[in-house]
């Protein structure tokens, strides 16, 4: 479909653009197999509008770059030779996702089909420790995950790292500010032991939203993805595209005021959402100390019917609903997604969130199911990090080396 225009002269065929056109057509074939595979070569021609000889040449190159495999298939009830089916290679290029959390490190490798093949998660306190030390540990965890992936026949073609901080647009991979880690102006490349394996940092809320988008298979949805670890992160996906703001600072939902005279926030303002629905605030309100996994602790207490915990979660849900009502009135999204720790606490957060939205979103229809928990929960950011490399390869397979 998308290939028709490109193949039949949609691109000006000046000699200099021949290479660019082939590059685009490689992506068209790759995209067709990713969306509809397994496909025969003839199916690919039918799907893309490219000629059979063109498809064959492009497919051969994609196989040489280990992006596609072509397997013998049994004839499906028809008389004749067995067919050959093209599929994304699940023993070839892969994406490594890393995550630096306030209280954990994680790594994950996904193959080109998007399947997670290697998982690593280590609970450890990272807040306030030297960034170089934390990054060296993340690098070691990533190297371990890459070795395990190699045993499965995978090789890592790209690395992205989720961080709970602001990652402004621009080259060089800078984490401008990650207040809950205590980082200011940290460049992972300055600390990474292997200069050839430096990951690209990205805000964890943004990656969680991209993971959600892929999981749902609704590429054009407009939604707000809100998640919490130590802080509250939100990502805006408008018409399927991540909206980063003028300088990459969009989505600071945690500092939306929910009570103008409320308690002071480390950001300098008062009554921010984080003071009601942030992890520390919920634990404080529930009378719990933050030892161990705070989300597991809250879940356990809430299931047991502990009144203070239920009250704290209700207060958090109301504050969250209040902030999200402003987001809905401002941008008119299809959906609101509770991700990260909020997804795991959704049983208790959703009712007050929905009640606030019902009371405050009145200028447009707002069905209660338009706010939903993410199925990925706290795995979202690291999966999003790994999937972003896979997405990049499928969009431009020519970036892969030929073997
Ligand atoms: Zn604040």
pLDDT at 78 over 60: no
Q: How many CB atoms lie within 10 A of CB 233?
A: 26
What number is the average pLDDT over the span 320-327? Answer: 96
Q: What is the mean pLDDT of residues 370-396?
A: 94
Distance 90 CA to ligand 1 centre (A): 44
* Span from the CA of 323 to the centroid of ligand 1 (angstroms): 13
Query: How far away, in angstroms, is 252 Cα from ligand 1 center?
Result: 9
- Distance CA(318)–CA(118), nearest Å, equals 38
**Overall average pLDDT of the 304-323 stretch:** 97
Q: How far apart are CA 8 and CA 21, in angstroms?
A: 11
Model pTM above 0.75? yes
CB proximity list for 49: less than 8 A, separation 6 or greater: 1, 3, 4, 7, 8
Residue 14 has a pLDDT of 53
Distance in Å, CA 184 to ligand 1 centroid: 17
Residues 6+ apart with CB under 8 A from 187: 172, 173, 174, 175
CA of 274 to the centre of ligand 1 (A): 7
Question: Quick one: how far is CA 239 from the chain centroid?
Answer: 16
CB 288 within 8 A of CB 301: yes
Sketch out the chain's domains with CATH numbers.
2-88 (1.10.10.10), 94-207+381-399 (3.30.420.40), 217-377 (3.30.420.40)
Residue that wins the pLDDT comparison between 228 and 12: 228
Q: Are 48 and 3 in contact (CB under 8 A)?
A: yes
- 355-377 b/e with 16+ CB inside 10 Å = b? ebbeebbeeeebeeebbbbbebb
Average pLDDT over residues 37-54: 94
Q: Give percent above pLDDT 70 in the chain.
A: 93
pLDDT of residue 90: 95
Q: How many A from CA of 280 to the centre of ligand 1? A: 13
Q: 326: exposed, middle or buried (C-beta count within 10 Å: 0-12, 13-18, 19+)?
A: middle
Q: What is the pLDDT of residue 8?
A: 39
pLDDT at 4: 35
- Structure confidence by residue, pLDDT tens digits, 262-277: 999 988 999 999 999 9
Give the pLDDT confidence score for residue 77 in this predicted structure.
53
Which pLDDT belongs to residue 290? 61
Predicted local distance difference test score (pLDDT) of residue 246? 86
Report how far ligand 1's centroid is from the alpha carbon of 176 (Å).
Answer: 17
- Please give the structure tokens belonging to residue 357: 């939205």
């Amino acid at each position: 479909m998308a290939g028709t225009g490109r193949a039949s002269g949609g691109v000006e065929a000046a000699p200099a653009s021949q290479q660019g056109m082939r590059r685009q057509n490689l992506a068209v074939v790759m995209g067709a197999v990713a969306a509809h595979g397994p496909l025969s070569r003839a199916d690919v021609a039918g799907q893309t509008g490219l000629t059979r000889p063109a498809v064959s040449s492009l497919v051969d190159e994609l196989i040489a770059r280990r992006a596609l495999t072509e397997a013998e298939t049994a004839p499906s009830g028809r008389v004749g030779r067995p067919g050959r089916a093209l599929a994304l290679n699940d023993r070839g290029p892969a994406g490594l996702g890393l995550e630096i959390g306030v209280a954990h490190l994680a790594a994950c490798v996904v193959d080109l089909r998007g399947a997670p093949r290697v998982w690593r998660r280590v609970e450890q306190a990272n807040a306030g420790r030297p960034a170089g030390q934390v990054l060296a540990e993340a690098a070691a965890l990533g190297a371990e995950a890459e070795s395990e992936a190699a045993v499965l026949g995978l090789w890592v073609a790209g690395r992205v790292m989720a961080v709970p901080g602001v990652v402004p647009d621009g080259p060089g991979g800078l984490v401008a500010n990650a207040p809950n880690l205590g980082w200011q102006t940290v460049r992972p490349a300055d600390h990474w032991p292997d200069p050839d394996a430096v990951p690209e940092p990205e805000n964890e809320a943004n990656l969680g939203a991209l993971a959600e988008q892929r999981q749902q298979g609704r590429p054009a949805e407009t939604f707000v993805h809100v998640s919490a670890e130590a802080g509250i992160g939100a990502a805006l996906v408008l018409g399927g595209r991540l909206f980063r703001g003028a300088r990459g600072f969009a989505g600071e939902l945690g500092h939306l005021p929910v009570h103008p005279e409320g308690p002071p926030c480390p950001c300098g303002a008062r009554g921010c959402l984080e003071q009601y629905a942030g992890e520390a605030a919920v634990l404080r309100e529930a009378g719990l100390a933050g030892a161990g996994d705070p989300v597991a602790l809250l879940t356990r207490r809430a299931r047991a019917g502990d009144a203070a915990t239920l009250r704290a979660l209700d207060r958090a849900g109301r504050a969250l609903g209040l902030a999200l009502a402003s987001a809905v009135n401002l941008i008119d999204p299809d959906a609101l997604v509770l991700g990260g720790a909020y997804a795991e606490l959704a049983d208790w957060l959703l009712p007050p969130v929905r009640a606030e939205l019902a009371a405050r979103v009145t200028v447009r229809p707002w069905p209660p199911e338009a706010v939903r928990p993410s199925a990925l929960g706290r795995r979202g950011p690291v999966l999003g990090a790994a999937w972003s490399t896979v997405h990049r390869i499928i969009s431009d397979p020519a970036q892969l080396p030929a073997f």
